[in-house]
Amino acid sequence: MRRWIKAVQALAVATSLLQWSVIPAAFGSNGNGRRKPHITAQPCVCGAQARYFIDPAKEPRMSRATLVKLLRKHIQYVFVIFNENHSFDNEYGTFPGVNGIYSDGLRRRSPRDTAGFTQTYKDNLTGATVTVQPFRLGPGQNSSVLDSVDHSNAGMIAKFDVVNGAPRMDGFSRREYQRFAGTPGDTLSAARQEEGTQFARLVMSHVDCDTIPFFWRYAGRFTIFDNIFATEDGPSTPNAIAMISGQMGQTQWVKHPSSPDGRPVTVGSNSGTLNGPPVIKDSLPFRGSQYDTTRVDRQPAGTREHYKNGNISMNLTFATLPLTFQGKVVSKTMRGNRHPELDLADIRLDIPYIDHLGTEPVNWGWYQEGYDHEATDPAGVASHSSYVTHHNAPQYFGYIADTPAVSAGMHGLTDFFDAMAANSLPPGGVFYIRGGFKNLTGKKPVVTDPKTPADEVAAIEAAKAGDDDHPGYSDKQLSEAMTARVINAVASHPGIWSRCAIIITYDESDGEWDHVPPRILSYGPRGLLSRGSRVPLILISPFARTHVVSHVEGDHNSVIETINHIFGLPALASLPDEAQALQKGNSARFNRFAPAGFKQKHLGPDDIESPISSSLLSGFDPGRLTGQAPPLPASFAIIPEKIVNSFPHYGGQGCKSIGIVPEDVRLGITNHIPKGFNPLPATCPATTYTDVEKY
């Protein structure tokens, strides 16, 4: 055993040296073949940020090792506000300084040089070619309460339109049209034809600071990243899982290659097949399902979820951050697991390895709305009516959900705000915050078009009261208000704000168009596996850079790697079970699922620094970390509660109120909303709007 431990520790040292010595290149591609710095200033250094802005070109140069050492000294809390389902272009495509729809961040870019800018499909009745291009929605189109588009794994593969290994990003409108209206020659109802037409338009829409002014305010004051992708191409569950594991189950698949075909299961009158990894759809977790025989500390099930016999996931058994968070007590902790033969199957080598590294345990919490009793529930009754079970990544892992000392980290959203109010949050750690089908304030969705008929207002209010930003059931302004309340709660505690980093990010794109082709990293038994489209990510901290854009490339592994740096944790990719699977995956047995010549080098986590997977360290300001510049004050992050609770935010004039001019406005680009467009083709099928925006 000692010999094995020494060998594994030697591997860890080698991995660590690689991790710290790889410095990102000073310049990266901007998508046009040009080269630009990895960190660039946003234009118009004015308003509140002018006082704190430090030109990144004039910052002191610092090695990664020094930067990490300073982060460990200054950062004790990491908060991850984990929202739902938006592509980067959909929410920030016209944000100044980013690689967006009309500009590469430095200069205007033509539609011809923007992948997928012009989408086409064949009308299945007339055979005519229909063209759709990007357009902006605002308060006049009830842009805060839009419907959801196709973000299934198969749907995203069709939308990417991969040719010779390169996504062309031009199948978004075609996929949306055909999933309702069919292909030429199909005979479907007029309603289906209309639905396909409207969804083909909706998928190409985007919003700006008039719709989500709080999010744009944070992006303008701190660091926004414009080259972070979903780990998988869709949907939500695999990317929720990737947020804590850096993968969708490739390790488990490689170790047990038959598992993707599922495993038959019968419990009482329920009989079906469990869905195996790699996870590619929104199967519900085994714990809490109809197949789970647990009686003590049973995991909850959301009342609005689809617990069909064939829609349940296998128990997941690969490594996650909640495992490495246990540090030097991991062996002791895992002795409390109730089903070790099942739950610990693929971390048996990881556990003693983590134990002998001797790292200090890290406090953690996953605060998700509806998990337990919420402020909106009746006294003493947890309704779980706001709980989106398939968004709760820890519940998928038996060694988390069925080990009491670990599952104690899972909470409802009210618990977070109660802990902040009572100043009872643990002294440091990593805390994830997620909304749900409802919002804790009981607010109705924000209907911003005064001409909206009463029946449509009623439909919107019945369908869109969620606060995790998921199109379909959430309201964007309720969602950014929830985010603001979290940030305000953190910033209101000097002892927490002064030592924190806050990350606002998303699981996946919802299938909305984004023009940047993702790097294809792996294939699964059902085809293309990763990566997905770009998603938004903003870094907020008293030690963050101000008013800049980071262009480093990454995905959810970037968040994991940053947490590893701050808390001195081993990379998940360096753990013995994961490292073995990564090596074993690049073999004929698994390369056969990919195109000829493709090597499966990424069947597992990617949380070790590399040219294709960078941490978020570029968002931290070296001058502030060294004391050459003062930390950013809490007031710079706080949005007054009066504004947070006033809807629509800034009276629908968000851009003017926060002082940001979107790129399309600055460039004088005319916004053409398609004539007769309906932004709510599922919620309000009869709605139409004018062809040109009037406000």
Q: What is the DSSP string of 523-556?
A: EETTEEEE---B--EEEE-TTB-SSEEE---B-H
Q: What is the rounded distance in angstroms from the CA atom of residue 85 to the CA atom of residue 33?
A: 29
Q: What is the rounded distance in angstroms from the CA atom of residue 184 to the CA atom of residue 130?
A: 13
How far lies 332's CA from each of 6, 335, 361, in Å?
21, 5, 12
The per-residue pLDDT for range 249-287, each reduced to its tens digit, is 999 999 998 766 678 899 989 999 999 999 999 999 999
If you search the block for the tokens 């140069």, which residue do you land on? 61
Contacts of the segment 633-638: beta carbons below 8 A, 24+ positions apart: 633/542, 634/491, 634/492, 634/494, 634/497, 634/542, 635/491, 636/48, 636/52, 636/221, 637/218, 637/221, 637/222, 637/487, 637/488, 637/491, 637/497, 637/502, 637/540, 638/487, 638/488, 638/491, 638/492
The per-residue pLDDT for range 420-457, each reduced to its tens digit, is 999 999 999 999 999 999 999 999 999 999 999 999 99
- 3-class secondary structure per residue, 114-139: CCCCCEEEECCCCCCEEEECCEECCH
Please check the confidence at residue 15 and state whether its pLDDT lies above 70.
no
504, 490 in Cβ contact below 8 A?
no
Mean pLDDT confidence for 323-346: 96
Domain boundaries, the chain: 2-666
Q: Quote the pLDDT of residue 690.
A: 40
Q: Quote the pLDDT of residue 182.
A: 84
Convert 226-235 to b/e letters by CB count within 10 Å (16 or more is b): bbbbbbbbbb
Structure confidence at residue 4 as a pLDDT band (50, 70, 90): very low
Structure confidence at residue 192 as a pLDDT band (50, 70, 90): confident
Please check the confidence at residue 30 and state whether its pLDDT lies above 60.
no
The per-residue pLDDT for range 361-377, each reduced to its tens digit, is 999 999 999 999 999 99
Backbone angles phi, psi at 13, to 5 degrees: -65, -45
Q: Which of 15, 19, 105, 26 is nearest to 552 (CA)?
A: 26
Structure confidence at residue 33 as a pLDDT band (50, 70, 90): very low
Q: What is the rounded distance in angstroms from the CA atom of residue 35 to the CA atom of residue 596?
A: 31
**N residues, the chain:** 695
Instruction: Indicate the burial class of 218 (C-beta count within 10 angstroms; 0-12, 13-18, 19 or more).
Output: buried
117, 187 in Cβ contact below 8 A?
no
Cα–chain center distance at 588: 32
> What end-to-end distance do the CA atoms of the chain give, in Å?
71
Q: Quote the pLDDT of residue 687.
A: 60
310, 304 in Cβ contact below 8 A?
no
Does a cis peptide bond (omega within 30 degrees of 0) precede residue 43? no
Q: Quote the pLDDT of residue 36.
A: 58
- Please, what is the average pLDDT of the chain? 91
Mean pLDDT confidence for 68-72: 97
Mean pLDDT confidence for 110-119: 97
Sign, CA torsion 547/545/368/373: negative
190, 197 in Cβ contact below 8 A?
no
Q: What is the rounded distance in angstroms from the CA atom of residue 370 to the CA atom of residue 302?
A: 8
Angle among Cα 274, 533, 612 to the nearest 5 degrees reads 100
Structure confidence at residue 209 as a pLDDT band (50, 70, 90): very high
Q: Which tokens in the block code for residue 352?
A: 């003693």
Mean pLDDT confidence for 3-14: 39
Higher model confidence: residue 191 or residue 326? 326
Lowest model confidence (mean pLDDT) among 27-31, 96-100, 104-108, 263-267: 27-31
CA atoms within 13 A on the CB side of 105: 27
Sign, CA torsion 119/122/126/129: positive
Q: Which tokens in the block code for residue 29?
A: 């591609």
Residues with Cβ within 8 Å of residue 27, at least 6 apart in sequence: 35, 36, 37, 38
The per-residue pLDDT for range 451-501, each reduced to its tens digit, is 999 999 999 999 999 999 999 999 999 999 999 999 999 999 999 999 999
Backbone angles phi, psi at 483, to 5 degrees: -60, -45
Backbone angles phi, psi at 476, to 5 degrees: -60, -40
Superfamily of domain 2-666: Alkaline Phosphatase, subunit A (3.40.720.10)
Q: What is the rounded distance in angstroms from the CA atom of residue 84 to the CA atom of residue 74?
A: 30
Q: Which helix (H) or strand (E) holds 203?
A: none
Q: Quote the pLDDT of residue 59.
A: 85
Q: What is the rounded distance in angstroms from the CA atom of residue 218 to the CA atom of residue 377?
A: 31
Helix (H, G, I), strand (E, B) or coil at 301: coil
Q: Which tokens in the block code for residue 61?
A: 């140069």
Please check the confidence at residue 58 and state whether its pLDDT lies above 60.
yes
Q: Over pLDDT 70: what percentage of the chain?
A: 93
245, 321 in Cβ contact below 8 A?
yes
Phi-psi category of residue 107: left, alpha or beta, with phi > 0 → left and psi -120 to 50 → alpha: beta
Sign, CA torsion 106/112/115/121: positive
Q: What is the rounded distance in angstroms from the CA atom of residue 228 to the CA atom of residue 63?
A: 22
Q: Quote the pLDDT of residue 126.
A: 83
Q: Over pLDDT 90: what percentage of the chain?
A: 85
Helix (H, G, I), strand (E, B) or coil at 253: helix
Higher model confidence: residue 8 or residue 203? 203
512, 203 in Cβ contact below 8 A?
yes
Which amino acid, one-letter code, is at 289?
S
Helix (H, G, I), strand (E, B) or coil at 224: strand
Beta strand 500-506 with 537-540 is: antiparallel
Q: What is the rounded distance in angstroms from the CA atom of residue 230 to the CA atom of residue 620?
A: 22
Q: Quote the pLDDT of residue 260.
A: 65
The per-residue pLDDT for range 381-420, each reduced to its tens digit, is 999 999 999 999 999 999 999 999 999 999 999 999 999 9
Helix (H, G, I), strand (E, B) or coil at 148: coil
Q: What is the rounded distance in angstroms from the CA atom of residue 680 to the CA atom of residue 692?
A: 17
Q: Which residues share a beta bridge with 364? A: 430
Q: What is the rounded distance in angstroms from the CA atom of residue 434 to the CA atom of residue 423?
A: 20
How far lies 228's CA from each of 79, 99, 516, in Å?
18, 12, 10
Lowest model confidence (mean pLDDT) among 128-142, 178-192, 206-220, 292-306: 178-192
Structure confidence at residue 595 as a pLDDT band (50, 70, 90): very high
